[in-house]
Structure 1
């Protein structure tokens, strides 16, 4: 079992996205979300990414905390 603490870089890798600090900053700056759109409904995700995000939150998985962090980052 993987008990390591997930980071934002790990989440981006899990989602199949570039995970360098610069790539994450670029992604966040170019994918702002309004308050009324749930994170898993954002236009930037493909179906698999959206499902991973939804399941992480619905199942309160070990990814849920970092997914919440990404949600907050995209709303600032």
Structure 2
């Protein structure tokens, strides 16, 4: 899939989470701020599968990396 097709809504769907705009805003409000120095993929609210996906995509600087970075910024 092309990187430009990855949206925050697509990321939440990929993670198996409710993916409409209101659900995303509620998720961010409920989980921010991440603690200082906590990598996004190490946050305690992810399942093991979600954590593995986020970690792999960031480390590989893969297609999803930019939208994951955006989520990280919004949770900071």
Q: Give TM class, smaller chain.
A: over 0.9
Measured after TM superposition, the shift of residue 48 of structure 1 is 0.3
Cα RMSD of the aligned pairs, angstroms, is 0.9
| Structure 1 runs, 4 residues or longer, greater than 3 Å off | none
TM-score, normalised to structure 1's length?
A: 0.92
Matched, 1:69 2:52: no
Q: Which residue of 1 aligns with 2:40?
A: 39
Q: State the SS of the aligned residue for 1:30.
A: helix
For structure 2, which runs of at least 5 residues remain unmatched after alignment?
Answer: none
Higher helix proportion: 2
Q: Which residue of 2 aligns with 1:12?
A: 12
> Quick one: distance in 2 between partners of 1:67 and 1:35?
18
> Quick one: distance in 2 between partners of 1:18 and 1:53?
17
TM-score, normalised to structure 2's length?
A: 0.92
What is the number of equivalent residue pairs in this alignment? 74
